Amino acid sequence: MNIFRAGKLAVAVTALLALAGGFAGVSAATASQPPTAVTGETYVIGTDTTFAPFEYRENGELTGIDMDLIRDIAANQGFKVEIKSLGFDAALQALQSNQVDGVIAGMSITDERKLIFDFSDPYFDSGVQMAVAEDNAKITGYSDLAGETVVAKRGSEGETFANSIKDEYDFTVKALADSATMYDDVKAGNSVAVFDDYPVLAYGINQNNGLKSVTEKEQGSSYGFAVNKGQNPELLAAFNTGLAELKDSGEYQAILDEYLEQPAPAAASGFFGLLSDSLPALMKGLGLTLLATGLSILIALVLGVLFGFFKVSESRVLRGLASVYVSIFRGTPLLVQAFFFYFGLPQLTGQSIDVLTAGVLTLSLNAGAYMTEIVRGGIQSVDPGQTEAGRSLGLGYVTTMRRVVLPQAVKIMTPSFINQFVMTLKDTSLLAVIGFAELTYQGQQIYAANFRTGETLLIVAALYFIVINLLTMLSNKLDKRFNK
């Protein structure tokens, strides 16, 4: 896709269409509209990764209200769309830098956003609604919440609303990170009710998530389709026209009903259905998990050997350098390191960083610190008499290390290396928080859409278990083979 295509091309295309009247006639015949500025154009549309029911994946395909709407509007208006599932923040950034032409991502129209984007007419009225467990007959309104705990999504409208009425009705608000977790919390009885966006809640109930809504939705924000300020006005106009036509034809209501009203076909499939549905995505995640682990361990090994030698060297500067490195990365949580490299570093350097690079950087620097200690410990656990024997024969430091100390140290270090390898593999799951699409992340995406948290996590855990044990067995075999 071309970054500069947007405005300039619209003009060019209009001119071209005027010239090639015959071609325009043909393409107009397929749409219900006479040719317009967007006819035949292809627009790149950014969206979130998972925000059911607006966008989520089903059998690997992007689907949801937003997806159906934008595709139907495009067909109605005679243009084509190329959907990019980027994640919410990334999609907005891509829009600002003209890497995408528009964004549809269940985005509320707010005054701040209006300063940088142009919004379409609202295509959906959201609002907060309260739900309780299906079998809960006691709580039917806000007044039954006295003395109870409710959950809401951190930083969401639901949280704002719940907090605004908690004193009046005397309940406590607990904030959690995502919808699936909140619903599980209510089902487990840890909290009695959840305040969530009406469409998300309705979709979840639709998917038999074990909850029921008990209040009317509170009036909330409206969702809009956005283009960059001043860019692609013809696309925005086409969206508005198309939306109006879909509303008139009843197609719009049919889309909403499909996701919010009609109950899902009875609990899709059993455990094995879920397994076969989710396995392709999970295997892709597993591939990324192994890739990140492999790269990180290799780099960590290099770092560990380098700084490990620094640690046992006679130079105070080198020893100090290694100690600082180790204490920084062992003295801070991996999660904080991941956030720093993915979000913090780009802000400091102005250089954006892709998630795999940030993830591998985090894991390798972190594992490198532990490797450094393993290497140092290994070298120091070799009897100093060995070095003395080597040196007294006239062998140099390097030769003594290489031929005498290291072969013995490696043997001592190998079990710790294998252990670190397994730790790093497991640590990759923490990268889910920065949106690295590894195994855990894939699992989260799946249960965010189907609410089958327990079963999905069981499959994810089983995959980790199998892979880790296979790799451990293999490593131990190699260890026995080469370090007898």
Partner 1 sequence: MSTSANSTASVGSKISVSGLRKSFGSNEVLKGLDVEITEGEVVCVIGPSGSGKSTFLRCLNKLDELSAGTVIVDGFNLGDKTVDLNEVRQHIGMVFQHFNLFPHMTVLQNIMLAPVELKKQSTADARATALKLLDRVGLADKATARPAQLSGGQKQRVAIARSLAVNPDIMLFDEATSALDPEMVGEVLQVIRDLAAEGMTMVVVTHEMGFAREVADRVIFMADGLIVEEGTPAELFGNPQQPRTQDFLSKVL
**Chain residues in the site for partner 1 (CB under 8 A):** 383, 385-386, 388-396, 399, 403-404, 407-408, 411
Question: What is d(CA 312, CA 382) in angstroms, rounded to the nearest whole number?
Answer: 12
Write down the least CB distance from residue 373 to partner 1, Å: 23
Nearer to partner 1, 247 or 402 (CB): 402
Write down the least CB distance from residue 404 to partner 1, Å: 6
Write down the least CB distance from residue 291 to partner 1, Å: 34
Nearer to partner 1, 401 or 439 (CB): 401
Write down the least CB distance from residue 84 to partner 1, Å: 56
Query: N- to C-terminal Cα distance for the chain?
Result: 57
Write down the least CB distance from residue 307 to partner 1, Å: 25
Nearer to partner 1, 149 or 380 (CB): 380
Show Cβ contacts of residue 310 under 8 Å, excluding neighbours closer than 6 positions.
318, 319, 321, 322, 372
Burial status of residue 291 (CB atoms within 10 A of its CB: 0-12, 13-18, 19 or more): middle
Show Cβ contacts of residue 285 under 8 Å, excluding neighbours closer than 6 positions.
437, 438, 439, 440, 441, 442, 443
Write down the least CB distance from residue 398 to partner 1, Å: 10
Please choose, from the candidates 211, 51, 25, the residue with its C-alpha nearest in 3D space to the C-alpha of residue 131. Answer: 211
**Number of residues written out for the chain:** 484
Write down the least CB distance from residue 399 to partner 1, Å: 5
Nearer to partner 1, 409 or 422 (CB): 409
Nearer to partner 1, 368 or 390 (CB): 390
Nearer to partner 1, 125 or 388 (CB): 388
Nearer to partner 1, 164 or 399 (CB): 399
Please choose, from the candidates 228, 37, 25, the residue with its C-alpha nearest in 3D space to the C-alpha of residue 118. Answer: 228
Nearer to partner 1, 208 or 408 (CB): 408
Nearer to partner 1, 1 or 393 (CB): 393
Q: Please, what sign has the CA dihedral across residues 34, 37, 38, 40?
A: positive
Nearer to partner 1, 60 or 394 (CB): 394
